[in-house]
Amino acid sequence: MRARHGHRGYRGHGTFSARPPLRSIRYGGQRHSPRTLRTGHGNPAGAERSPGRVSRGRIPRTRGGPQPPGAIRPRTCVVPEDHYRGATAGSSLVPRTARAGDPAPRDPGSVVNRRSVHYDAIVVGGGVVGVSTAYVLAGRGLSVLLLERYAPVHEHGSSHGDSRMIRFDYEENVYVEMAARAYRAWEDLAKRLGRPVFRRTGICNLAPAGSEVLETLETRLRDCELPHERLAGRAFADRFPQLNLPQNSEAIYQPDSAVLFADEVVRSLWDCVLEYGVDALTETEVVSIDPRDDHVEVTASDGRSWSGTRLVLAAGGWTDRWLNALGIDVDLVVTRELLAYFPRAGAVPHEAGAMPNVIDYHTSDPFYCVPQVRVPGVKAGCHRTGRVVKADDPEEVDDTNLASVREFIGRRCPHLSRDPVAVKHCLYTNSADYHFILDCHPDHANVVVAAGFSGHGFKFGPVLGEILAARLFGETPPVDTSLFGLERFSSPSVLKPRTLA
């Protein structure tokens, strides 16, 4: 397939508890209970060996949680030398993940795993999608190499910051199903870590009364049997004093939405893959990916090279150049989206748990708010309004965009200051229809591409890892992925872009 598609004329875009009240949900006419949506149980063959299980002749890795005290964990990962410094008797066996600013290893050759430099799978990109995929693959007992250009949770891409929304208010059924599976997976991660990774907040979608967006969301929530309320006027104001809902407007409130502690979960997933024995190389820029008949060769800018039987490309805003290099003529548009944190200006609480997530459809480009988590302010931005950039372009604050976000805060959040305490950026890697790309290379089935997450992919991290692992081994994915294929770009005229956030 060499479908050329370009769209450069772009307008640049729970508390930790027992089970949340996600009732059994209907998808495609079939009813699934929350238990059937749990991650890690997607193989219909049950306990039988699948193509993605332990390779012949390789000793399976430990697949549970942390090893017991006294267990020896070999140092098999390329990480900064001070990774293990500061350990004392009785300290956690989970090593500290590399942080931005850590020095690179002085002699990577002496630190890399002593076994062969051939791996069952190589994952390029250590953001939430890449590290989630490495986590799933290593859990299958495979030897995995994870390559990250920077340090974990760096601020150059899309997997940083203190918060992301988990939400179910999608027009497409597959995203609702994926969100339900991801919710369970994040809860499982919290149990493994022994600490919360999200906080349940609910979400309010705001729009003019009778608007199509409200009707669409309410229909979808009803079809999926998800709880929701339609609020307006005094009932809304009493319930959510943080927000000013205009007259002749309504809100749909869905209580199961949550705030995910974004950078914390990415660091925790890095810790987990290190426990699984993944060779995780930071500060490693890949300059060559060469698919062969039975393996893929990868080379870094410093001359190091590795081979893998299979490869997952999850390079975020840098993926577009790799698609072209690999002969996949599908354009991705990268935008640098502005977000700002606005501090409280009164006594009304705005922390996660007191304030809901918000998506506001009163304008053609929806605004959003995420309640305060760690940074002392409510996060706000305007979805898909960033400037078109290259991933390596220097950051510049768009004063016009910032002014529009400040105006939004002034009219919608009366108890917040309009002067932000911080202004940040996040890359959106947008496909033409704002749907994901989760597919095999058309000529190399051992190469899988993960791209085009278009500003709404982070929450799905664990499920994306499951899907990519399944695609890598020719298995049936845990959800229907027909919406995410590369073939759809062969007919760009029939692509229908998503209209909701």
Domains recognised in the chain with CATH numbers:
199-258+333-430 (3.30.9.10)
Tens of pLDDT, residues 204-231: 999 999 999 999 999 999 999 999 999 9
Q: Which residue has the higher pLDDT, 31 or 153?
A: 153
The whole-angstrom separation of Cα 432 and Cα 8 is 9
At residue 164 the predicted structure's pLDDT band, cuts being 50, 70 and 90, is very high
The answer to whether residue 234 scores a pLDDT higher than 90 is yes
List, in order, residues 6 or more apart from 396 with CB less than 8 Å away.
Answer: none
Report the pLDDT value the prediction gives residue 18, as an integer from 0 to 100. Answer: 33
Would you tell me how many other CB atoms lie within 10 Å of the CB of residue 321?
13
Helix axes 173-193, 212-223, angle to 10 degrees: 60
- Helical axes 461-472 vs 173-193, angle rounded to 10°: 110
Q: Which residues of 448-468 are buried (b: 16+ CB within 10 A; e: fewer)?
A: bbbbbbbbbbbbbbbbbbbbb
The larger pLDDT score, comparing residue 29 to residue 413, is at 413
% the chain with pLDDT above 70: 77
Q: What are phi and psi of 199, to 5 degrees?
A: -130, 125
pLDDT, average across residues 439-447 = 97
Question: What is the average pLDDT score of the chain?
Answer: 82
- The pLDDT, as a whole number, for residue 19 is 38
Q: In this predicted model, what pLDDT tens digit does every residue of 300-334 receive, in sequence order?
A: 999 999 999 999 999 999 999 999 999 999 999 99
Identify which has the larger pLDDT, 364 or 97: 364
CA dihedral defined by 411, 416, 419, 421, rounded to 10 degrees?
A: -140
In the chain, % of residues over pLDDT 90 = 75
* Strands 25-27 vs 30-32: parallel, antiparallel or unpaired: antiparallel
Burial of 355 (0-12, 13-18, 19+ CB in 10 A): buried
Burial group, residue 13, by CB count within 10 angstroms (0-12, 13-18, 19+): buried
Spatial separation of the C-alpha atoms in residues 304 and 291, rounded to whole Å: 17
Token code pair at residue 293: 């008949």
Convert the pLDDT of each residue in 115-127 to its tens digit: 448 999 999 999 9
Q: How far apart are CA 378 and CA 373, in angstroms?
A: 8
pLDDT digits (tens, 9 = 90+) for 444-468: 999 999 999 999 999 999 999 999 9
Q: What is the CA radius of gyration of the chain?
A: 22
Return the ∠ at Cα 225 (arms to 220 and 229), rounded to 5°: 75
Query: In the prediction, which pLDDT does 493 show?
Result: 86
Half-sphere exposure of 217 (CA within 13 A, CB side): 30
Q: What is the pLDDT of residues 22-68, one digit of tens each?
A: 444 443 434 443 333 333 333 333 333 344 433 323 323 433 333 32
The Cβ-side half-sphere exposure at 450, using a 13 Å CA radius, reads 32
